[in-house]
Every structure is written in structure tokens, then in C-alpha cells.
Structure 1
Amino acid sequence: MKRLVLGVQYDGSGWQGWQTQPSGNTVQDALERALFEFCGKDVKVVCAGRTDAGVHGIEQVVHFDTDLDRAAYSWINGVNAFLPNSVAIQWAKELLLDQASEDNFHARFSARARTYHYVLYNSKIRSPMWSGRAGWVFRPLNVDLMREAAEKLLGEHDFSAFRASGCQAKTPIKHMYEINIRQQGELIVFTLRASAFLHHMVRNIVGSLLFVGTERRPPDWMAQVLESRDRSIAAPTFMPDGLYLAKIDYEEKWGLPQSDLIELPGFLSLL
């Protein structure tokens, strides 16, 4: 028995999120159906982090255990042949599985950090070219003010003010390592890297930063929201369209062939 790790990329526009549902219309459902066709048996995958409906994955990481002996390229090409155009495996890595050890790789629990991008189209008129791929704000945004506000969130904090009511995380305390806000013409890209994220946390943070960017609130307001631990104080949850799970950080000892697609502007060239 071995543990197989896959890097999966997907356009989340037409899916009801990552996690399997009775409808069968989720990315996990599509991947497990393809694995069944390839393996000839049911396969249940474990992911690094679930994404909501409409959220995209540049590099989701999943694992499952199997006794099949296949080369990496065979897993990639073989499973992709059964996947829809909006989902594709990018790489595969076989790891040894020690049944007597607790130090086996785990897509979720072995992760050290997660990175998300939020891509925003900032223009007076909406663009159909960015529909489903970027959020949209028609009011002018002050990027410098948003950067100042974002600094208030760095470090280890209780992020309850940005947590969805249905969040199942055991603790709201997370460490925010960095928040970068970059502008390229009419596109503004928010990049957030943290130890982990609560349900809707990125979209709630982006929504609150937009309150600052439109000068409805001053930058110091972000610190007040954080300290309140009160979800009702923050801005409404922003649309999912521009949210991308970009990268999961793991220790080098696992030797995962992860990509560098989180780098800009290369990332934007994919859209």
C-alpha cells in the first residue's frame, strides 16, 4: 500500500464547491468518479482545504491510499482522460506509507501554510471577459489605504470577526504571515498567506478592505474589526468569483513537485 499525492487544478465556476454532495456536482465528486474509472474501484480523497462554490484551485493538494503500481505520468494522463475540461491533475507523487507510524504525509494536517489570491476587476463598467474569474468593483479604490489596513491583520490573532457562522474550525486563532496587494492596470490582486483560513475568511477580509479602499472606513477600522471578534462589525462576504486557492506549503522532506503558479504576473497569464 502506498500514499499517492496529487496536485489538482480547477475552474470552480460551474461546481458547487470542493466537498462531495448528494448532487454529485462538486470537484471532489468529479475527481473521485475519474479515479474510479482509472482504478476500477472506489477511491476517497483527502484535500488540503475545501473551497466554496465558485472558488477556483490553482493547486489543490489531495492524497489517497492505493495498491496500484503506476508511473506518475500514467496517473496524470490516465485520470485526466476521465475528468471534465474544468478539472485536471497537474502532478502526482508516490510516497511510502508506514502503517505503524504517525509521520505519514497528510494533505491537510501536514500543511504548514496556505496561500490564496483574490483577483479584482476595478472599472466603471463590468467586463464579461472576467465574469466568474474576478470580483468586480466599479468605484475607484485607494490601494495605499487598503495596504495600510491590511497590515493590521498580520501576526497571530483571533479572526472571529471574519469567520462565517457555519465555520467548523476548532479554533479561530490563525497566523497571518503576509498580505500583499498588487495593482496591474484595472486588476488588483490580493495575496494572503496564513497558517490556515476560516470559512469565508478571505472573502470577508477582502470585503472589509474594500470598505477602506472606497474610503467608507479609515485603515484603523480594520484593527477595530479584528479586536471586536464580532462578525457583524465587518463588511459583508464578498463574491467568490475572484478567489483562488493558490498554494499549500509543505516541508521539503516530502519532495512534492509543486508548481510556481502563484507568482505574478505569470499567474494572471492563466486567466
Structure 2
Amino acid sequence: MSTPPTPSEYADLAESIAREAAALAARRRAEGVEVADRKSSVVDVVTAADREVEDLVRRRIAEARPDDAVLGEEAGGTDGTSDVTWVVDPIDGTVNYLYGRPDYAVSIGVVRGAPDPATWEPIAGVVVAPATGTVFRAVAGGTVTRDGAPITASSPASLAETLLSTGFAYTADRRRGQVAVLAELIGSVRDIRRGGSAALDCCGVGEGTVDAYYERGINPWDMAAGSIVAAAAGAEVRSWEAGDTRSFLFASPAVADELEALLHRAEAAALGVAPV
């Protein structure tokens, strides 16, 4: 019976695959992008490159780890016989990708157990930004780097000095609710940013270019690798039920408690949900 890979070996494989996938995504972006389909709404697009890049990632995982499960944004889940799942977003930030904006990423997280953020055990995560070549890499509970250099979460002095990033869903009703929550927050934080890639927002918390990232309704593939990066860099990773979906917060420990409490109050006021 072969010895299971170490977390670092999982990270090595994830990085190798993510780099190859990122190169393919960048080539297809340079050639021109076509919308292949729409999902939850007219603005929730899938490009042909999303599917091609995910196909590549799945092939590479199957070649190296045929017994592992895979959960991908475009092709869904495939079962495995090991207890390891690869959680893949081939192009996180597809709308940015479509418009030629640089904030998109290949995201590959490796977890133990079912691919549910509430229960999985993180192993390793890699996020590669093809437009810049930036590589975030983390081993859960171990090393975390940007382009090989160690990173760490920020330590803002107060909530009022906290730069918060966020994102929006693709359905109109949920977007309206998200904006209503932000209206309750904007007077209490330094400012709010919206980048368009959950994976890169999580990594931003890990490297301290934002102090926190909050969003309702993100999917496991959106944040699997990025959450491992953020946590390994010292950020708090929290989630809770908020009405019909889950809210996620990735934050500097210096403000995590206060920001989470503020978010509970803001969601209750804006969405009419019971305070957590």
C-alpha cells in the first residue's frame, strides 16, 4: 500500500496543475473569449475557456490521483475512493476574464472529507492569477506564500480602519439584499472594495492588501483554496446561516469578532433575518 502524499506534496501537485491551467487560460484570453452558456442569470456566464481549463485540471488530477474525488464549478462532482477531494474553480472571476480585466484566477483546493466548507478538513490550496503570474500557495496549518515569499494577515487598529472587500451574486434579488447589508456597514469601516474574484479576495486577506472579505452565498469552489491561504496566513475564517444561504467572513483576528457582530446586525436589519 503506497504512502499517502504529505500536505506539501499535495500543494506541489496543485501548484503544478494550477500553473499549467493558468497558462491555458491566459492563452485563450489572448485569443478572444466566447460566452458558451449562462447559468443563474443572463449575467452569470460560462466561457468555453472555463470548460476547457477545468477539463485540463480534471485530467491532470486523474492522472496523478485517480482515487481522489473532484468537485468543479463547471462539471460538478465526481466520486473517489479516498477521503480526499479536489475543489476546483477553473476561472474564478469569469466576468473579469470576459472583459479582459486582470482579477481572475485558477483556484485549486485540496480537502479531506466531503466538499462542504462547514465540515471539510483543509489540506492545501493554490491560487494562480494568470494575468500577473502571481501564485498563492498554502499548506493548512503550515507555510503560506505569495510567489515564494511568506505572507501574513494584517492587524488594523480598529474597525473604522478596516478595508473590507466583498462580492455580489448574479441574481437581482440577492444583489439587492447584499447592497442593503453593505449600506449598514459602510459607515463603520474604512471603505469597501469589490474585486470580482472570491479566491483573490481571500488571498488579499492573507497578504494584508485588505483586512477582511465578506460575502453571502459563495460556493465551495469559489473559496476552497483561498480560504486555506487566508487561514494559513493567520486570518479568521467564519461562516453562519443568513436567511436562505450562508455568509462567509475572512478577517484579520484584530477585527474579526467586532466585524462579525456588525455583520449579524446588518443582515438582520437589511434582510429581515433573525440575528445569529
TM range (shorter): under 0.3
TM-score by length of 2: 0.24
Larger relative contact order (Cα-Cα within 8 Å, sequence gap ≥ 6): 1
- The structure whose residues are more often helix, as a share, is 2
TM-score by length of 1: 0.24
